[in-house]
Each structure stands twice: as structure tokens, then as C-alpha cells.
Amino acid sequence: MATATVSAGARLHVGFQNLSLARERLYGGIGVGLTAPRVTVTAEPSATVTADDPLVQEYATRAVDVLDVSGVTIALVESLPRHVGLGSGTQLALAVLAATARAHGRRPRVRDHAPAIGRGGRSGVGVATFERGGFVVDAGHPTNRFTTEPPAEGNWTVPPIVARHDLPTEWRFLVVVPDAEPGRSGDDEDASMRAVVDRADPAVADEIAGVVTRKLLPAAAAGRLEAFGDAIAEIGRKNGAWYADAQGGVFRPPAGELVEALEDCPVLSGIGQSSWGPVVYGVTDAAHADEAEASARDALADRGLDGRVVLTEPAESGARVSGDGA
């Protein structure tokens, strides 16, 4: 019997390039693929759909339908914390899709099939990092296609990538996952995003465009850590201005307290909140990783917060797909 294993790293979502209906393209995600933490699933072909997790069961059922195969038995070996800003939904959905395809001897065409399983509707960062890792910027969607109600699943295409760079292997991303209420997802996220888009200031998008073209992309291409960090921090704060009413500030609680504390750490730059949080991130290098990690643990402890601190490398490649199904 063919067995397939798929393992994918988390992703950080720095923000969007535009949320205003007054500009030609909407969204345009900016983010980074990570080597850890990871989601891993194993799959075998079957006559029915069997899974050891309800969400995996849901994605596997969709994958079987999309791929037009008989069924799959799938197990969740390693999971990402859900709805905290690490892209858990997209990475899990695509891992299940790829494992199901591989178990049946199919090529995992995740970009083509992602819309049919409800992924890649706004940001293309999660799909892109699953495919190839790296630092990515996507093109967003034409604004004239925006509707007040979410489009039916499958009725969109994943935004194309307009820039991708491998970041230096000596860079380390600090990821702080505080034990806090999860970020927004599903219908709640859709409603919040529509409200943000309805009142977004287009001037913020114009400012972000300048940061992306004059600061962020040159820093990523040249591997200049501090310049890269300064740019993503600026983009994160400008995105936060759009979300302030929806999340209670430029950063949601308790992410804002952690961002403020970590900004005082001299070996960290690029401090920000990933997606709706509560994950907070920063970037440093291998030589200063221990100091950065200690600062993060102190920041949690000083605020009476439990949580997890991860130091991880930027991903140079996408998901690991293996097995004898293909």
C-alpha cells in the first residue's frame, strides 16, 4: 500500500500592500516561510475518508472530491497551533491535499486546487511558501472583483507571486506564541476584513508601496538584516493602522505589550504581529539568537504570560513531500 508523508513549515504574514477600494489592486500579501514549527501528515489510499482529527477529516474529504479519488486514510503527526498567525489552516489544508494526491500517485498541484479547498482567497503567501519557501510578495487581486460577500469557494485564483527571495541562512526569526485568545478566522475574519476594507485609508497603501519598493525589496535582495527588519516593522505598523478599530489598537492584546518590550532588545529588528496574532515575531542572526530568545522569555514572564518561544531559520524550500505513491 502506498504511503505519503508531507511536512510543511509555518509562515509569518507581515501584512498587505493595500486594503483600500480606491486603488487598482487589493490585498497583496507580504510574508516569510519558516522551517519551524511544522505540520506533518501521513496518508494512504483507501475506499473511504478516515482521519484522526476533525479538521483533517474535513480537508481530506474536500481533497478526495477535488482529486476525484476513492478515499484516504490520513494521520496528523505534527501540528501547528491554530489561529495564532502562523498559517495553520492553509498549511494543514495543503499538506492534506498534497499527501492525498501523492498517496494516489498524483502530482500535488496545490496552487491549482487551493481555491477548491477554500485557501488562497486573499493572501497568496501561505500557498507560495508551501510551494517554495522564502520571502514572498504577491500581486493581490483586481479591486473591481471585490464583493461585500465572500466568493464561493473555488471561485478565485491564488494571487501570483511578484517577488521571491531566499533570505540568508544565518538569519533567525524569533517567534513568540503567547497563551492568549486565538486570532480571527472563518466568518469572523471575513466580516472583520470587509469592515476594514470599507474604511481603509488609501494614503496608507501609497506609503506602504514606497516602503516595499525602496526599502523592503532591496534589503531582501541584498540580505541586509537591519534594513529588512526596519521595513517589515514599518509595514506591520501601517497595516495595524488599518486594523486598529477591528483589533483594539495597532497590535491586538497581548501582542502590543510584547512588541513594545521586544523593541527594546538591541539584537532584534522587524518586530511585528503576524496576521491577526497573537504571534509576535522579530528577526536576528545566529550569533545573537540566544540573547533574542532570552529577551522573549523575559517579556512573557514580566507580563505574567505563558507561551512558547521558537527560533527558526527562513525556509529555503517548500513542503517536503515523500512516499511511494508517485
Give the CATH number, domain containing residue 79. Answer: 3.30.230.120
- Residue 187 pLDDT grade (very low, low, confident, very high; cuts 50, 70, 90): low
Q: Is 49 helix (H, G, I), strand (E, B) or coil?
A: strand
Express each pLDDT in 102-141 by its tens digit: 999 999 999 999 999 999 999 999 999 999 999 999 999 9
* Burial class of residue 47 (count of CB atoms within 10 Å of its CB; 0-12, 13-18, 19+): exposed
Threshold 0.85, pTM exceeds: yes
- Residue 201 pLDDT grade (very low, low, confident, very high; cuts 50, 70, 90): very high
β-bridge partners, 284: 172
Q: Is 221 helix (H, G, I), strand (E, B) or coil?
A: helix
Q: CB-hemisphere CA count at 13 Å for 316?
A: 7
Cα dihedral 286, 282, 293, 169 in deg (nearest 10): -20
Those residues whose C-beta lies under 8 Å from the C-beta of residue 210, and which sit 6 or more positions away, are none
Domain assignment of residue 76, given as a range: 4-323
- The structural domain count of the chain equals 1
Percent of the chain residues topping a pLDDT of 90: 88
Q: Is 230 helix (H, G, I), strand (E, B) or coil?
A: helix
The packing angle between helices 88-103 and 54-67, to 10°, is 50
